[in-house]
A and B are shown apart, each in its own frame.
Chain A
Amino acid sequence: MDSVGNIIMYVVIALAIIVFSVLTVTTSKILRSATYLLFVLLATAGIYFQVGYEFLGAVQIAVYAGGILVLFVFAILLTHRPDAKSQPLTSEKRWLGLSAAIAGVLVCGYALIKQCDVVSATLGSSDVTIEKIGQALLSTDKFGYLLPFEAVSVLLLACIIGGIVIARKR
């Protein structure tokens, strides 16, 4: 049995995710689209906090809402006039997109609601402490993540160098 406050938080987060993700892909101004994406990302961090992953929620806010969103805003301001609007959609494109999205959502929703029995599971008690996360990230044991951790660091280095090489002035 969840507390009333928890359920109210869930309703707010779920509504925010649904409304703002629809607005993100339908608004005609690109800067507004980036702002709505920020709200979606913050609501996602709220979901992570609610299921007990505080570290993941903090990373989501710091990396996505803090880093990627600023990159998006920089790129938008570098490539658009402030009052730029996107061109109106052609009807065949919109029809194609709508049918693909609605068909996917309907099929997956039907499968989730009617065909799966694990979806009624309720939240168990888990204590994911920062200490456990740190031990797992830097250990080489069975559930250790040292190799992917180092691989990601090499990937980020490659990404920094690639970004400089691609975007520098020639």
Chain B
Amino acid sequence: MELSLLMYLIPSLVMFGCGVYGFITRKNMIAILISLELMLNSVDINFAVFNSYLFPGQMEGMFFSLFAIAIAAAETALALAIVINVYRKVKNVDIKEITKMKF
């Protein structure tokens, strides 16, 4: 039995589906961010796996996931700063309670 490209794409697909489900159903802002991380992560897997299976001599997909990881880190840090700031003002991180853009 050989490990083919498909066998890595299936877990990544399931991970993306879970991310979509969590992004729609969750009400907590931090939980929504966690679902977003799941989706980003599955896309990174796809880049790396496609690169390594279809174009073994090149490194483009690997660099793309490398930069995607760096940008995801920056995005998460900023988003969590915003969440903490909102919590200080509203004492809540539920998206149903946060209806105003300006306080």
A residues contacting B by CB (< 8 A) are: 1-2, 6-7, 10, 13-14, 17-18, 21-22, 24-25, 30, 33-34, 37, 40-41, 44, 47-48, 51-53, 55-56, 59-60, 63-64, 67-68, 71-72, 74-76, 78-80, 86-87, 89, 93-94, 96-98, 100-102, 104-105, 108-109, 112-113, 118-126, 128, 132-133, 136-137, 143, 145, 148, 152, 155-156, 159, 162-163, 166-167
Contacts and interface: CB of A to CB of B under 8 A. Distances in A.
A119 B34 contact: no
A44 B41 contact: yes
A132 B59 contact: yes
Contacts of A86: 26-28, 31
Contact of A71 (B17, B28, B80): B80
B53 A122 contact: yes
Given A59-B66, A67-B73, A126 B83 contact: no
B26 A112 contact: no
Interface residues of B, number: 72
Given A64-B69, A124-B53, A25 B63 contact: no
A162 B49 CA distance: 34
B22 A121 contact: no
**DSSP majority for the A interface?**
helix
Contacts of B28: 30, 86
Contacts, number: 230
Contacts of B80: 71-72, 74-75
Question: Which 5 pairs of residues, A with B, have the shortest CB-CB distance?
Answer: A25-B22, A124-B56, A97-B24, A101-B21, A126-B56
B76 A166 contact: no
Contacts of B11: 13-14, 17-18, 47
Interface of B: 1-28, 30-31, 33-35, 37-38, 41, 44-45, 48-49, 52-54, 56-60, 62-63, 65-67, 69-78, 80-85, 87, 93-94
B27 to A, nearest CB: 6
B85 A93 contact: no
Given A7-B1, A17-B12, A86-B26, 19 more contacts: A1-B1, A7-B3, A17-B11, A25-B22, A53-B62, A79-B87, A86-B31, A101-B20, A112-B10, A112-B13, A119-B6, A120-B5, A121-B53, A122-B2, A148-B63, A159-B77, A166-B81, A166-B85, A167-B81
